[in-house]
């Protein structure tokens, strides 16, 4: 399927800013005649069809806000939505919620649907905060929004998140401190999640500092609950990794299950860690060692910043909240460093 033409493509073809394209298409403000002609020519040449995203910004107040998240089934997003709801309810706003199933192509559709209901602003998580056509359009149209979980590096877009790179680095440093020198990563697909890419950067930074070569990188679909086939080919032989870092908790829990199905014990044969801190990770056996994000607080802060802006305050900024590590039972010493005595971190793996 051909890639949809975006407002960014038109701006690049015409040699103007995205905001200029928006003004020409919406008939707002002024543009030099030659500039407007270049924009209209680029629109015709590229076959650009403006969508509804920029059309509802002057609507009457509805006291309704939109939330866009990648998944309704991942508890980490449910926790942040709970925080968003708390803050919105306190201010007398209603919420409309849409999910994209980690599909970047569905983001514009989700946002357009919310804007058709005349939401006044958005809290959202997108696949790629620095390269999002949806956010380009929202910026050009000056629709207020705050990202949650995303951590754009170059665009200056407002967000509330943890420092994904530093957090991942902290977790991998714990693995290294326990004697692991062959550490791999099981990651949700990078094209679906800039958070996954940033966590890989933190993983690599920890290994580089320790002078260790990276282990295998195994990308999986976020909906893949049984990645044992992808793991099996990377775990064969004497140089297999002794530890695996999961880019989120659901990926890590699926990895623990897959290792068990492959006949390997966690953490006796392979240690596993996650990232998110969802409650279910502490309830399974062995309990998951994970990096905890303050998900509910992140959602609440994002909504509070959005509401303050809607009330006439400054544009929201970029906020990082503190993270912590939850010690579980899936991370233990590297096998070669185990003593002959009892090891309380090593317990038989159970079905998850």
**How far is it between the farthest Cα atoms of the chain?**
82
**Tokens 């697909």, located at residue:** 189
Cβ contacts of 315 within 8 Å, gap of 6 or more = 144, 158, 309
Give Cα separations from 2 to 5, 130, 202 (angstroms).
9, 21, 34
For residue 273, what are the β-bridge partners?
245, 289
Q: Give pLDDT, residue 61.
A: 75
Other CB atoms within a 10 A radius of the CB of residue 13 amount to 18
Q: Give pLDDT, residue 36.
A: 85
Return the closest-CA partner of residue 262 out of 231, 240, 237, 289.
Answer: 231
333-342 residue pLDDT tens: 999 754 433 3
For residue 278, what are the β-bridge partners?
none
pLDDT < 50 stretches in the chain: 1, 59, 338-352
Copy the structure tokens of residue 158.
């407002």
CA pair distance 243, 183, nearest whole angstrom = 5
Q: What are the two backbone dihedrals, phi and then psi, of residue 223, each rounded to the nearest 5 degrees?
A: -90, 0
Q: What are the two backbone dihedrals, phi and then psi, of residue 199, each rounded to the nearest 5 degrees?
A: -70, -30
**Tokens 């392979």, located at residue:** 270
In this structure, are residues 39 and 12 in contact, taking their beta carbons and an 8 Å threshold?
no
Q: Give pLDDT, residue 264.
A: 94
Q: Give pLDDT, residue 257.
A: 93
In this structure, are residues 248 and 188 in contact, taking their beta carbons and an 8 Å threshold?
yes
Q: Give pLDDT, residue 341.
A: 35
Copy the structure tokens of residue 182.
């062959």
Return the closest-CA partner of residue 196 out of 260, 245, 256.
Answer: 245
Give Cα separations from 59 to 120, 151, 235, 266 (angstroms).
8, 30, 57, 55
173-202 residue pLDDT tens: 999 999 999 999 999 999 999 999 999 999
């Amino acid at each position: 399927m051909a890639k949809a033409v975006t407002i960014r493509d038109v701006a690049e073809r015409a040699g103007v800013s995205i905001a200029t394209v928006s003004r020409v298409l919406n008939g707002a403000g002024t543009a030099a005649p030659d500039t407007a002609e270049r924009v209209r020519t680029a629109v015709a040449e590229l076959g650009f069809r403006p969508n509804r995203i920029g059309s509802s910004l002057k609507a009457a107040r509805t006291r309704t806000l939109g939330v866009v998240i990648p998944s309704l089934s991942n508890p980490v997003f449910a926790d942040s939505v709970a925080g968003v709801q708390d803050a919105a309810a306190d201010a007398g706003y209603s919420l409309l919620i849409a999910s994209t199933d980690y599909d970047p192509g569905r983001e514009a559709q989700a946002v357009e649907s919310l804007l058709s209901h005349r939401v006044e602003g958005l809290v959202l998580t997108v696949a790629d905060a620095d390269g999002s056509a949806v956010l380009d359009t929202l910026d050009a149209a000056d629709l207020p929004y705050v990202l949650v979980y995303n951590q754009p590096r170059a665009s200056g877009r407002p967000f509330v998140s943890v420092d994904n790179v530093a957090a991942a680095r902290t977790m991998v440093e714990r693995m290294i401190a326990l004697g692991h020198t062959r550490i791999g990563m099981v990651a949700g697909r990078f094209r679906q999640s800039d958070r996954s890419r940033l966590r890989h950067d933190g993983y690599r930074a920890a290994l580089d500092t320790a002078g260790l070569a990276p282990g295998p990188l195994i990308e999986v679909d976020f909906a893949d609950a049984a990645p044992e086939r992808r793991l099996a080919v990377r775990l064969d032989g004497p140089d297999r990794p002794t530890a695996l870092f999961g880019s989120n908790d659901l990926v890590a829990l699926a990895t623990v299950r897959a290792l068990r199905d492959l006949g390997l014990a966690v953490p006796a044969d392979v240690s596993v860690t996650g990232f998110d801190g969802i409650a279910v990770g502490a309830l399974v056996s062995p309990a998951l060692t994970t990096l905890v994000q303050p998900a509910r607080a992140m959602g609440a802060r994002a909504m509070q910043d959005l509401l303050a802006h809607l009330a006439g305050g400054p544009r929201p900024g970029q906020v990082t909240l503190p993270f912590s590590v939850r010690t579980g039972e899936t991370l233990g010493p590297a096998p070669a460093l185990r003593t002959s005595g009892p090891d309380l971190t090593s317990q038989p793996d159970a079905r998850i």
